[in-house]
Amino acid sequence: MSVTIGSGHEGNVREQINAYKARVKGGEMGALPSVLSLFVLTVLFSALNPYFLTEGNFANLLTQTATLMMIAMALVFVILIAEIDLSAGVTSGVAMALFIIMTNRWGIDWRLSILAGLLCGMAIGGIIGFFVAKVGVPSFVVTLGLFLGFQGLQLALLGDGGIYRIEVPEIRAIMNDNLPAWLGWTFLLVGWSLMALLGFYDRRVRSRNGLANRPISLMYSKLAIVGVVGAALVALLNTNRSTSIKEISGVPIVVPIAVTILFLGTLLLDRTRFGRHLYAVGGNPEAARRSGIKVVKIRIIAFVLCSSLAVISGIFNASRVGAVEATAGKAIVLSGVAAAVVGGVSLFGGRGRLIHAAVGALVIAIIDNGLGLIGLPAGINFLVTGGVLILAATVDAVSRKRSAAAR
Amino acid sequence: MTSQRPIVELVGITKSFGPVDVLKGIDFTAYAGRVTALVGDNGAGKSTLIKGLAGVQEYDSGVVKFDGEEVRLSSARSAAALGIEVVYQDLALCENLDIVQNMFLGRESMTGITLNEPQMEFEASKTLTGLSVRTVKSVRQKVASLSGGQRQTVAIARSVLRNAKLVILDEPTAALGVAQTEQVLNLVRRLADSGVAVIIISHNLQDVFKVADDIAVLYLGKMVANLKSTETNHLDVVQYITGTRTMGDQA
């Protein structure tokens, strides 16, 4: 049986590119603005300061970004359903306080302690979800309340001004140690092959169902770009970036962890029933309900996922700092929201992907890093970051209007 | 005309909200392969009647027969299980999802734990093609980019995909321009011709006469007329709707 209505997969490369342009014009911009600004910022800062594009700063930038990237990705799950979690940062702080008390005071195995921290995050997410989805309290209020309350809880757990050194080498290693060169290459190869396999698998299933596929050259180009960029990054990170005698090289351990979470989270959102329903609830909760989707359940799971991933960002932060403080996580949550929005995740719900949050976090980190290198006064980067955020939110609002007007 | 097999039969339906009797003993039948228009002024009880059929709001008393069997429509789920689909005026589509995703929302086909996108895409295309829909370019378009008529088309196609036996359309042309109204009415006609019983609620009598086989008129909670559209005219229907004429007056 032949099908006469297309699916957007038909046509040659040129037609595909035109269709993409039309989508962008129609308001479906996705990560395009943030990728472009990433490019512009990189060119700008490397022109202004030669240190910006060095191996050392590059590795530094990646570890600086990891914590922000993780919390931004966590927030995507709740922003997608047009909610917010202002307590994501302090939730990670509370979970890490629990972790450090278990390892340092009680001498419990670090793996168990991490598990306890993650479970603690899940429980907090469940509580937020209950109040928001079941009781109907606005998430802004629930999580603002927790934001304040958990700061008190952190103080109670760790004491005023309490700082506990992390004694677990495995946790310290995440941000401070690097993969051996061969392992970095292996990781790239595995990830790239996975992407290629997934691509070929999708094409095969489509043609088995008698559906058109996009020109294969498009897929080859995509794989080539990812391969080349990935290889360049790994090669760059595998060169010695030390300024002293001791060699420092390799992909920071946090990178494969973050990329794996990004990959799994994207599979969850794009290819499972839960992901589809999450987008539906974000787009039109009433329509979702009428389609038989259990809206309350989806919302609660979204908050659980957010809080759990926030705990992972807390682990990253603790690893980088080398300690758990009573004030951990307080400052980062708004930057996380900013990163998601800058990356193209819509605060109106229903639109955005994890990769957008990751790119947005890179943009914000680059602004921070680059302006710091140029040596401008500290206040400037807040101004610039704030400006970029408002710009991004404006782009989102305008593109929404445009896609509404395009019909 | 084709078959006269009643899909849904209502006998002596009543519904009140407190002291207000909204439905006062309604008899109503919709047949497979026919479009039945339900008309009446605001407050006549159209919405209440439809909500009962959709399982959203149970009737107080009366008999509901579906496909010849007496049934209870206690929830939207039980109505859907029988094959009753309602296409609401505000459409209930997710703008941020594409056509395929909307058509399969809540009933996705799966391979293991992952969505079977190619199969859903194929089925969606097949259904739209089967309804001779030509206004949609790609089934992977986001609903946000569709016109009102196209959205209505997607909503109707979704009920077909779900193998509905009875499709209830609530003001399907209310917000549409002339050309789009034409397209949607044609679609409604094809839907009925495929053997589905269609109930259409409309205030627009022009549309009603264009598409309906039968016209049922509600006036203040009572069914005041059951007419064949070929045997009546615009003016008669208006008089029934406004209560200036009853079934006994027939000249």
> Looking at this predicted complex, what is its ipTM?
0.88
Q: If you ran DSSP here, which 8-state letter would residue B163 be given?
A: T
Partner residue opposite B125 with nearest CB, options A5, A208, A276: A5
Domain region containing B16: 6-97+164-249
Written as one letter, the residue type at A199 is: G
Quick one: what percent of chain B has pLDDT higher than 70? Answer: 96
Q: Which residues, 6 or more positions from A340, have their beta carbon under 8 angstroms from its beta carbon?
A: A72, A75, A76, A79, A352, A356, A357, A360
Query: Does residue B158 lie in a domain region?
Result: no
- Sign of the alpha-carbon dihedral angle for A397, A402, A403, A405: positive
What pLDDT, in 10s, does the model give residues A287-332?
A: 998 888 999 999 999 999 999 999 999 999 999 999 999 888 888 9
- Reported as half-sphere exposure (CB side, CA atoms, 13 A), residue A166 has a value of 28
Enter the CATH code of domain A29-177+252-405.
Answer: 1.10.3470
B238 found inside a domain? yes
Q: Report helix, strand or coil for B113.
A: coil
Eight-state DSSP code of residue A102: I
CATH of the domain at B80: 3.40.50.300
Lowest mean pLDDT segment, chosen from A296-305, A336-345, B124-133? B124-133
CB-nearest to A271 from B107, B114, B148 is B114
- Find the CB nearest B105 among A1, A280, A282: A280
Q: What distance in Å separates the CA atoms of residue A63 and residue A217, rounded to the nearest whole number?
A: 35
Q: Is the confidence at residue B91, as pLDDT, over 80?
A: no
Token duo for residue B220: 């203040």
| CB-CB under 8 Å, A276 with B115 | yes
The pLDDT of residue A1: 42
Three-state DSSP class for B42?
coil
Nearest CA in chain A to B111: A272
Q: Chain B residues within 8 A (CB-CB) of chain A?
A: 76-77, 80, 88, 90-97, 100-101, 105-108, 110, 113-115, 118-119, 121-122, 125-126, 128-129, 133, 136-142, 144-148
Residue B136: φ, ψ to 5°? -100, 125
Q: What is the pLDDT of residues A357-401, one digit of tens each?
A: 999 999 999 988 888 888 888 788 888 888 888 888 888 888 777
Min Cα distance B232 → chain A (Å) is 37
DSSP assigned state of A132: I
pLDDT in tens, B5-64: 889 999 999 999 988 888 898 899 999 999 999 998 888 888 889 989 988 888 999 999
Closest residue in B to A281 (Cα) is: B94
Q: Would the pLDDT of A7 be above 90?
A: no
Q: Which helix (H) or strand (E) holds B198?
A: strand B197-201
B203-223: b or e for each residue (b if 16 or more CB lie within 10 Å)? ebbebbbbbbbbbbbbbebbb
Nearest CB to B145; choose among A282, A283, A407: A407
Which chain A positions have a beta carbon within 8 Å of B114's beta carbon? Answer: 267, 271-272
Tell me which chain A residue has its CA closest to the CA of residue B155: A287
Cα A272 to Cα A289: distance, rounded to the nearest angstrom:
18
Minimal C-alpha gap between B191 and chain A (Å): 18
In a domain, B73, yes or no: yes
- Residue-level pLDDT at B249: 56
Taking the C-alpha atoms of residue B153 and residue B145, their distance in angstroms, rounded to an integer, is 14
Residue A403 — pLDDT band, cuts 50, 70, 90?
Answer: low
Q: What is the DSSP string of A349-397?
A: SS---HHHHHHHHHHHHHHHHHHHHHT--HHHHHHHHHHHHHHHHHHHH
pLDDT at A97: 95
Q: Place A404 in a pLDDT band, splitting at 50, 70 and 90.
A: low
Work out the burial of residue B136: count CB atoms within 10 Å of its CB; fewer than 13 is exposed, 13-18 middle, 19 or more buried: buried
What is the tens place of the pLDDT at every residue in B107-127? 899 999 999 999 999 999 988
Chain position carrying tokens 């700063």: A57
In this prediction, residue B47 carries a pLDDT of 86
Could you tell me if residue B52 is inside a domain?
yes
Question: B199 in a domain, yes or no?
Answer: yes
Q: Considering CB atoms only, which of B113, B115, B118 is closest to A206?
A: B118
**Residue B38's beta-bridge partner residues?**
B201, B216
Reported as a single tens digit per residue, the pLDDT across B173-226 is: 887 888 888 888 988 998 999 889 999 998 888 888 999 999 999 898 888 888
Query: Which residues in chain A are closer than 8 Å to B149, comparing Cβ atoms?
Result: none
Q: How many domains does chain B have?
A: 1
Q: Which residues of B touch A210 (CB under 8 A)?
A: 122
Say how far apart CA A288 and CA B250 lie, in whole Å. Answer: 47
Closest CA to A268 of A237, A315, A235, A302: A302
pLDDT by residue (tens digit) across A16-57? 888 888 877 777 777 788 888 888 988 998 898 888 888 888
Q: What is the pLDDT of residue B248?
A: 62
The answer to whether residue B88 scores a pLDDT higher than 50 is: yes
Confidence at A162, pLDDT banded by 50, 70, 90: confident
Domain boundaries, given as residue ranges, for chain A: 29-177+252-405
CA distance A312 to chain B (A): 25
Whole-angstrom Cα distance, residue A141 to residue A384? Answer: 28
> Is residue B64 domain-resident?
yes
Residue written as token pair 């992909």: A251
Q: What is the DSSP letter of B250?
A: -
Instruction: Locate the chain B residue with the closest alpha carbon to A293.
Output: B106
Token reading at B60: 């107080």
Distance between CA atoms of residues B197 and B6, nearest Å? 8
Residue B127's closest chain A neighbor by CA? A3
Looking at beta carbons, which residues of chain A come within 8 Å of B78? none
CB nearest to A3's CB, from B129, B137, B140: B129
Decide if A263 contacts A41 (C-beta within 8 A). no
**Encoded tokens for A261:** 């979470």
